Amino acid sequence: IYLRAGDISWKMIRWIVEENPVPTPQCGEVTLFARRTPAQSEIPGQLSVGQLYDFVRMLDAPGYPKAFLKHGSLLLEFAEANLQGGELTIRATVKTLASGVGL
């Protein structure tokens, strides 16, 4: 997949440089999506191992609030999920919640 995507990218770059295309405005109705809020990254209850893996992976990218759980005064943030043979390994970062601060 990556080799094919790389080949296509080089062809596109060459075409853009050689043809210098004129941009055309988009037509149709604009659809705007709101950014994810940190509260939307709280891990919901009753997830299967596979669903938890997907949830953590989905949020493990720059610009996204990390998947998390609150436990008393602690905030547990999760990243780097790895699922092998039905066993899930996740890196956790534990922080203290500031009083009165909610997500």
Ranges 23-32, 44-53, 76-85: which has the least confidence = 23-32
Q: What is the CATH number of the domain that holds 77?
A: 3.10.25.20
- For residue 71, being part of any structural domain is answered with yes
Contact 60, 81 (CB under 8 A): yes
Give dist(CA 98, CA 4) in Å, integer: 49
| Residue 102 domain-assigned (yes or no) | no
Q: Which helix (H) or strand (E) holds 74?
A: strand 74-84
Of 23-27, 48-52, 98-102, the range with the lowest mean pLDDT is 98-102
Distance (Å, whole) CA 33 – CA 36: 9
Q: Each residue of 32-44: pLDDT tens digit?
A: 999 889 999 999 9
Number of domains making up the chain: 1
- Show the domain range for 78: 2-96
Q: What angle do CA 2, 22, 18 make, to 5 degrees?
A: 60
- The number of beta carbons lying within 10 Å of the beta carbon of residue 78 is 21
Helix (H, G, I), strand (E, B) or coil at 32: coil
Triad 15, 22, 29: Cα angle to 5°? 115
